[in-house]
Chain A
Amino acid sequence: MTLDFTIVPSYFTLLLIGSGWTIAITAAAAVLSFVVGILFAVIALYGPALVRYPIRLFAWLFMGTPLLLQLFLIYFGLIQIGIDLPAFAAGVIGLGLHFAVYNSDIIQSGIRAVDKGQYEGARTLGLSRLQTIARIIVPQAVRSVIPPIGNNMIALLKDSALVSVIGVTELTLTAQLAISKTFHPFEFYLAAAVCYYVINLGLEAGLRHLEGRVQLSR
């Protein structure tokens, strides 16, 4: 079969919708991974052993097993114990928790790097331990680790393609749908790649903007 890129434009809307879902699932999973990442980091560093160890086990499981398997487990496995999630939700939770574990590691190192005087300065004013962590330590830690977290978010965008296997009609799956109708895999995979690339450019620009705005200097 010869290459024929002229068929791509007729599937433009479909690819656009697929891109929209990719952006949506990436954004939702990114927010989840960030919030849970902070939570895990704080618990890992300050929490009582009773919660610290389960979290550590959880982190170890999510880091040591394939994301694809985790998605299968959440989408197909949980039904057996009565939790029937829509594919989109399962995808967000799987991607979100997976990257939360990586974000947590980075945020922990950010917290450790915050000067000890910051903690003392806040406690001296009368702030409690928790108030100090929430208002002084974590905000500084997070600002200092935006670049590596950003790299994780770019990885998340690319890994979001995996949720196509549980039936979320994001970019990769829409490309496959177009291919199943036209039998032109080269053109549509390439078109999808271009879409990913453009979304990635947008994400990188957003991250750079964020970095510039919250830059910390002492």
Chain B
Amino acid sequence: MTDKPFIDIRHAAKSYGALEVLKDISLQVRKGQIVAIIGPSGSGKSTLLRAINDLDPLTKGEVWLEDMQVNKPLPPRQYERHINQMRQQIGMVFQHFNLFPHLTVRGNITLAPKMLKRLTEAEANALAEKQLAHVGMLDRIDYYPSQLSGGQKQRVAIARALAMEPKVMLFDEVTSALDPELVEEVNLTMKKLAEEHMTMIIVTHEMRFAQDVCDRVLFMDQGVVVEEGPPEVIFRNPQHERTKNFLRKHLQGNAQ
């Protein structure tokens, strides 16, 4: 049963008009596995990630989380209820945080648990405190997002996603918008989650981080997974010319 996929993407395809952004991608992720997706800009990494919680619906193909189909064909009303249910189980963190600026850190974290899981004020507060302590932001609980640094915002965004107790976490270039000195605190937070065996799919351009934290690396280019494998194979011994070229550029870029 351990080799049964936790997330199962079957023949995912996505087009915008004539532009094929994803071309028949299949991907299985096991429970507790940590997958990095790397690749040049415009290769479809975000689109693939956002297809997992149906933020960008696929043109073709299926996405499964355990024994539930995320993008199950249903009439609109029922689908809305179904997808809201599914999304509660799929945490997502964005490049630009997407914190709610009119709410405090506490309000950001307690909103969804209170509304969707019917937690009481006290329960939701306890949950917020627990999650903030986890990302090292408890002392900022009554701040507004505008009063936080980028790294702090991103840690709050991670805490907000975790507060829904998701089965899997998706990260889309969550350190790309940060000043270099703030990247590490966010990476450390993700590392901590990795140590707790959270199932994670991480789109990143940080090769070192992918190497340190992930069990598996996918290299995407032009809407296909060109190559995938354990980090030591992908980074030390890539098979495809496109992977080699990409890594040559990026490992150099990281080294300076």
Contacts and interface: CB of A to CB of B under 8 A. Distances in A.
Dominant SS among interface residues on chain A:
helix
B161 to A, nearest CB: 7
Contact of A128 (B80, B92, B102, B146): B80
A112 interface: no
Nearest to B87: A126
Contacts of B96: 117
Q: How large is the interface on A (under 10, 10 to 19, 20 to 34, 35 or more residues)?
A: 20 to 34
Contacts of B84: 126-128
B145 A131 contact: no
Given A118-B100, A121-B98, A124-B87, A217 B146 contact: yes
A121 B146 contact: no
A121 B99 contact: yes
A127 B115 contact: yes
Nearest to A116: B98
B71 interface: no
Given A120-B55, A218-B146, A125 B101 contact: no
Contacts of B88: 125-126
B146 A118 contact: no
B85 interface: yes
Contact of A123 (B55, B91, B97, B101): B55
B87 A123 contact: yes
B101 A216 contact: yes
Contacts of B92: 124
B98 A217 contact: no
Interface of B: 53, 55, 80, 84-85, 87-88, 90-92, 94, 96-102, 111-112, 115-116, 145-146, 160-161, 164
Can you list the 10 inter-chain pairs with the closest CB atoms, starting with the nearest?
A: A121-B98, A126-B88, A125-B112, A117-B98, A217-B146, A126-B87, A124-B92, A126-B84, A218-B101, A139-B102
